[in-house]
Amino acid sequence: MEKTKCLIIGSGPAGYTAAIYTGRANIPTLLYEGLQPGGQLTTTTEVENFPGYPEGVTGTQMMDDMRQQATRFGAEMRSGMIMKADFSKRPYHVWVDDGTEVETDTIIIATGATAKYLGLEDEKKYAGMGVSACATCDGFFYRRKVVAVVGGGDTACEEASYLAGLAAKVYLIVRKNYLRASEIMQKRVADNPKIEILFEHNVEGLFGSDGVEGAHLVKRLGQPDESRYDLPIDGLFLAIGHRPNSDIVKGFIPTDEAGYIITEAGTPRTTLPGVFAAGDVCDPHYRQAVIAAGSGAKAGLEADRYLSANGLK
Ligand code: NDP
């Protein structure tokens, strides 16, 4: 069994930033990177909205930089997934997929959220070439172009409105004949002349020789008057929800109905002493790297305070 003072689960901006803080505070830190070291940002292309990179930076480069910075202050990086946790008594115990058991005084959960995709082969084929699940990340590349957003919730309406400020035209592709979004978001979309809502539409595939040039749509799927046609677009944005990666805390820490970890307002504190949450796993609203990094910093500071206050440092 391995012992540490701080275990960080997750290798996005929240996890790495937390590790920079705990490392600099001289706290022995282990960081488990999960299946996709660097997290969601490694699936995006250019990051232009993280302060400090005036020319922009690739997501992969930025995560590499954060990783190196955390390593420099002593955080130990491990590959592996945490499969199980026992938070019923202190110190806490977790189990890694290779069978390793880790005992730790503090835990920072920074496991992120995973954007949901439709499950089409073409989403993989055109990943980074016209398919995105983040308008704030990638919308800028579609200035004066034609894009489509899939979904009918608040996220889809928000993404469509954001994209309408950049693109020439935005289609909102909604599978039902109504929007699920809040009234204010619905109104915002309805009032925007650049947004056209396609109710009762589903995307069945994409086409294009060098990136997305259009989508294969089906209208009124399963109805007697079902019909198919192709819609020329330059980009497809998925906004059909996110799934927070909070399975390991279930039964120990309260989450909301969507699975986001509930923290004390404005802090990374969970209901368990010494267990903190940072980044998208507890943030259904913003989902931005800079915000995740900020909450990771808070979690690192809280871990330090907790260890000192309990004579564990
Ligand atoms: P939601 O779960 O609310 O909405 C998902 C949307 O995607 C629904 O319209 C759903 O359709 C559609 N969808 C799901 N799967 C598919 C599929 N396979 N094919 C086509 N369409 C699909 O997720 P959101 O991310 O929009 O919101 C999550 C939570 O965050 C909500 O509580 C929301 O209110 C909140 N939020 C709040 C914001 C704010 O207040 N500013 C901003 C963003 C989110 P259907 O309706 O048919 O199920």
Which residues lie below 8 Å from residue 201, measured CB to CB, with a gap of 6+?
173, 174, 175, 217, 218, 219
CB 57 within 8 A of CB 33: no
Could you state, in order of their start, the residue ranges of all structural domains in the chain? 2-114+242-309, 117-238
Q: Ligand 1, atom 33: nearest CA belongs to which residue?
A: 154
pLDDT interval class at 41 (50, 70, 90) = confident
- Mean pLDDT over 38-56 rounds to 85
- Chain-centroid distance of CA 172 in Å reads 22
What would the mean pLDDT of 61-85 be, rounded to a whole number?
Answer: 97
pLDDT band at residue 44 under the 50/70/90 scheme? low
Averaged pLDDT, 196-203: 98
Give mean pLDDT, residues 153-171.
Answer: 95
Residue 213 has pLDDT above 90, yes or no: yes
Ligand 1 mean position, distance from CA 150 (Å): 10
Confidence at residue 312, expressed as pLDDT on a 0 to 100 scale: 97
Question: How far, in Å, is the centroid of ligand 1 from the Cα of 202?
Answer: 15
pLDDT tops 70 at residue 165 = yes
Q: Above 80 in pLDDT, residue 45?
A: no
The kind and range of the H/E element at 146 are strand 146-150
pLDDT at 46 over 80: no
9 contact partners, CB below 8 Å, separation of at least 6:
15, 31, 32, 34, 82, 94, 107, 108, 109, 110, 111, 248
CATH number of 117-238: 3.50.50.60
Q: How many CA atoms lie within 13 A of 32 on its CB side?
A: 26
What end-to-end distance do the CA atoms of the chain give, in Å? Answer: 20
Whether residue 42 is predicted with pLDDT greater than 90 in this model: the reply is no
User: Which ligand 1 atom minimizes the distance to the CA of 156?
Assistant: 26
Q: Provide the pLDDT for residue 36.
A: 85
Which residues carry out catalysis?
A: 134, 137-138
Amino acid identity, position 77: M
Q: State which CATH number among 3.50.50.60, 3.40.50.1820, 3.40.50.720, 2.60.40.1580 fits the domain covering 2-114+242-309.
A: 3.50.50.60
Tell me if domain 2-114+242-309 and domain 117-238 are identical in fold.
yes
**Maximum Cα–Cα distance for the chain, whole Å?**
70
State both tokens at 212: 């997305």
Q: Are 104 and 112 in contact (CB under 8 A)?
A: no
More confident residue, 77 or 137: 77
Residue 253 has pLDDT above 80, yes or no: yes
Distance 180 CA to ligand 1 centre (A): 7
Strand-strand pairing, 82-86 and 76-78: unpaired
Alpha helix positions (H), the chain = 13-24, 59-72, 121-125, 135-138, 154-164, 183-190, 289-309
- Residue 194 near residue 166 (C-beta atoms within 8 A): no
Q: Write the single-letter amino acid at 290.
A: V
Q: Is 176 close to ligand 1, i.e. is its CB under 6 Å away?
A: yes
Average pLDDT over residues 81-99: 96
Ligand 1 neighbour 241 (Cβ under 6 A): yes
Give the closest residue to 160 by CA, choosing from 198, 128, 211, 122.
Answer: 198
User: Which of 122, 180, 188, 262 for mutating ligand 1's site (highest number of atoms within 8 Å of CB)?
Assistant: 180
pLDDT, averaged across the chain: 95
Asked if residue 259 has its Cβ within 6 Å of ligand 1, the reply is no
